Each structure stands twice: as structure tokens, then as C-alpha cells.
Amino acid sequence: MISFKNSPVSKETNKSPSNRISANDLYYITMIAAYSGMRINEIVQLRARDIVQHNNVLCFSINRDDGKSTKKHKFHKACASP
């Protein structure tokens, strides 16, 4: 199991290496990327309605709704693996 608690960027320290994004946002973007394999651009475009259930597993719906962009696919799902 990977632990990010001792990482210099953590939601608990509230310190971010960037002035454009909060440490809390960066923490969750990093966690979603690590466990889902999604691209950063896909993650930052997510909305609450993009969390869907597929075969009793919660997944992220990667789509082009509301002007969002994706690299290749018109639509696909990314499911996080613990």
C-alpha cells in the first residue's frame, strides 16, 4: 500500500508548490491520477455527475459533455483500483 502522508505536498500541510492550485485540490488530483490512471486534463474537468456506477463499481465517466475535451475517445470509464 502506498502512503502519501509523508509527502511534501499533502492536504494536511496545506502547502502547494503552485500558486495556481491549492494543496487540497492537488492532493485529490494526485490521488485520482494514481489510482485511476486518468490524465490530468481529464481529472480537472470532472463534475459530480461524472461519477457513475458500472457493475456495482463507482467509476469516472470521461466524456465530452459541456465542452470538455478528451485526448482520444468520445466516451470511456475509468475505475479506481485500491
Q: Say how far apart CA 61 and CA 76 lie, in whole Å.
A: 6
Higher-confidence residue of 34 and 2: namely: 34
- pTM for the whole structure: 0.65
Q: In the prediction, which pLDDT does 69 show? A: 77
- Amino acid identity at 76: H
10, 16 contact by CB (below 8 A): no
Indicate the average pLDDT of the chain.
76
- How sure is the predictor about 56, in pLDDT bands with cuts at 50, 70 and 90? confident
Strand partners, 59: 52, 79
At 74, list the grid cell: 468520445
